[in-house]
A and B are shown apart, each in its own frame.
Chain A
Amino acid sequence: NAGVTQTPKFQVLKTGQSMTLQCAQDMNHEYMSWYRQDPGMGLRLIHYSVGAGITDQGEVPNGYNVSRSTTEDFPLRLLSAAPSQTSVYFCASKAGGWEQYFGPGTRLTVT
């Protein structure tokens, strides 16, 4: 089991560029989520999905889109990058028991 994988590990974007952060899990978990981590603010939920074809907004969804066409994959799209989106992004998945498994993170810088 690879667990939760994320690519890329590091990314630098210019303001206005778009990109997709990839997330995949091989544990057959129904629930997947994206968080961003900023200094002193813990992790904040961006979007989540309770199963293939079902997504919903979290606490800070503006500027991000998601889709869930398969159980395994949950990509996060930045539509038009802004400096305020400079952050570390974590993808997570879980099944019953509510324990989340986190990916290693993507460190994004927007200049």
Chain B
Amino acid sequence: AQSVTQLDSHVSVSEGTPVLLRCNYSSSYSPSLFWYVQHPNKGLQLLLKYTSAATLVKGINGFEAEFKKSETSFHLTKPSAHMSDAAEYFCVVSDRNNAGKSTFGDGTTLTVKP
């Protein structure tokens, strides 16, 4: 079975400060991991993905995430937050041995203060 835990339901940062959104996963096999972003009343957009290549993954808009197998974590970071980063973020795990089904975390709401 696979699962995802997003450790913070809400994160608030000031513009220009670093962003850290935490994600732990559980998977019986080698997982693929993803971060998606959803702006208010919009669809989901892929930020970045890990599929067993480099453990440090760079995505769009300056985001990156590091896959740490020993800690079963896939935290999302950004050095300097912009107002436009305010959104809902979802961590997702997908397991090739689970018919490719994806499991979503409950989401983290990022607020960026001016």
Chain A positions within 8 Å of B, measured between CB atoms, are: 31, 33, 35, 40-45, 48, 50, 56, 58, 90, 94, 97-100, 102-105
Contact = CB atoms under 8 A, between A and B. Distances in A.
Contacts, number: 54
Interface of B: 9, 32, 34, 42-44, 46, 49, 51, 90, 92, 94, 96, 99-107
A42 B105 contact: yes
A39 to B, nearest CB: 9
Contacts of A97: 32, 49, 51
Nearest to A97: B51
Contacts of B94: 98
A99 B13 CA distance: 29
Contacts of B101: 33, 45, 48, 58
Given A56-B99, A105-B43, A98 B49 contact: yes
Nearest to B107: A42
